[in-house]
Amino acid sequence: MRRILVVASLRDPAGMNISNHLRRIAELKEQQPPKQCTACWKGIVGEAELVLVHVAEDILYCDGVEKLFDVELVVYASRHSSSANMATLSVHVSGNWDKAEYGGEPRKLSVASPMHVKAALKSLARLKEEYSLSGFTVAQEQTHHGPTVDVPSMFIEIGSSEKEWVNEAAGRIVAEAIMELLVHPPEKCINAVGFGGGHYAPKFTEVNLNSSIGVGHIASKYYTGTLDENLLQQAVDKTL
């Protein structure tokens, strides 16, 4: 059976918002949590299993949680913080192109699944319109921060301030987008790695939304000076 793991931190109001909606909509049943987790729920969505766990630490530093379960994908339900205060529903893969300033390992990337990133972005964009969530932008962000994960994974985030983190409609939209990954297995796409642009990646977002190409990892213009053969090879090898 296909299985997706969703991880949310007790320290994260956006993660708790998304978790609350997931538990209710998917009618998840509470389970005995494994070590490293404070709570655990499971349920069947479509023909797949959804596993939701809470962790006590900040989600950027919750290394190894994915090893507790046999899953095809890990989704980190999280807040996005930005001084720009732009209301966003965003998706990105984790990893560090240089120093590990916010979790993970230095100069090491997580495993990316462009078809899942692509599917999540398309669901978020459609659901945002269906729920008339005005003022929010659906965006793909560059690859950044931890944890470093050796199975396909991605962050789905609500940004960028407390006001948005606790927005009920935003929380429900992200929860439903996650569930759609289970109900409708993502279609294969032409995998790609993105280079250039800023932290937000509108051009790569557009590629994911409106083409047959799926962009997973993105190295923004800020990291072009740190790239070497090893990182470039990682970006290719860790794109599934």
For 56-107, the pLDDT digits (tens) are 999 999 999 999 999 999 999 999 998 788 999 999 999 999 999 999 999 9
pLDDT tens for residues 197-217? 999 999 999 999 999 999 999
Mean pLDDT along residues 101-118:
99
Residue 146 belongs to domain with CATH number: 3.40.630.50
Using CA atoms, how far residue 236 sits from 71, 84, 144, 217, 219, in Å, is 22, 31, 16, 9, 12
User: In angstroms, rounded to a whole number, what is the distance separating the alpha carbons of residues 81 and 13?
Assistant: 12
Gyration radius from the chain CA atoms: 16
pLDDT tens for residues 17-70? 999 999 999 999 999 999 999 999 999 999 999 999 999 999 999 999 999 999
| Residue 107 backbone dihedrals phi, psi, to 5 degrees | 55, 40
Question: Is pLDDT at 224 greater than 90 in this prediction?
Answer: no
Structural domain tally of the chain? 1
Residue (of 201, 234, 227) closest to 215 by Cα position: 201
User: In angstroms, rounded to a whole number, what is the distance separating the alpha carbons of residues 72 and 77?
Assistant: 16
User: In angstroms, rounded to a whole number, what is the distance separating the alpha carbons of residues 142 and 204?
Assistant: 9
User: In angstroms, rounded to a whole number, what is the distance separating the alpha carbons of residues 198 and 183?
Assistant: 33
By residue range, what is the domain housing residue 229? Answer: 2-237
Mean pLDDT along residues 143-154:
98
The reported pLDDT for the residue numbered 82 is 87
Other CB atoms within a 10 A radius of the CB of residue 56 amount to 12
What percent of the chain has pLDDT above 90?
98
Q: Are 202 and 90 in contact (CB under 8 A)?
A: no
The model's pTM is 0.97
Question: Is pLDDT at 125 greater than 90 in this prediction?
Answer: yes
What percent of the chain has pLDDT above 70?
100
The reported pLDDT for the residue numbered 170 is 99
